[in-house]
């Protein structure tokens, strides 16, 4: 999920390139644009510049199995508007 021109003085902490399904990563920018990675299966976080490392800041623990269906819809149906809400 690209974050377009989102800029923040975010430091690297708890970074990874191979998250498990449901481990959400924030890539705050650098050679590639800022983005969120929401993996729904095995993956390696890459760009045309090579492997990227993102901050693991959130883990989806409930109903993360439904991420597979969401990922397939986005892959085959194209981009959608998205809102992320956190319930604490």
From first to last of the 88 residues of the chain, give the pLDDT tens digit.
566 665 666 667 778 899 998 898 988 777 777 788 888 888 898 888 888 888 998 888 888 778 888 888 888 888 777 776 766 6
pLDDT of residue 10: 63
Q: Radius of gyration of the chain from Cα atoms?
A: 13
The pTM (predicted TM-score) of the whole model is: 0.73
Return the domain boundaries, the chain. 15-77
Which residue is it, tokens 């021109």?
Answer: 5
- Using alpha carbons only, give the angle 60, 49, 45 rounded to the nearest 5 degrees: 15
CA–CA gap between residue 59 and residue 23 (Å, rounded): 4
**Are 70 and 43 spatial neighbours (Cβ–Cβ below 8 Å)?**
no
């Amino acid at each position: 999920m690209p974050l377009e021109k989102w800029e923040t003085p975010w430091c690297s902490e708890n970074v990874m390139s191979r998250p498990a399904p449901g481990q959400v990563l924030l890539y705050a920018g650098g050679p590639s644009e800022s983005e969120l990675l929401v993996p729904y299966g095995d993956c390696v976080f890459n760009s045309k510049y090579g492997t990227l490392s993102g901050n693991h800041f959130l883990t989806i623990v409930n109903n993360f199995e439904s991420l597979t269906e969401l990922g397939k819809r986005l892959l085959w149906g194209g981009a959608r508007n998205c809102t992320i809400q956190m319930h604490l």
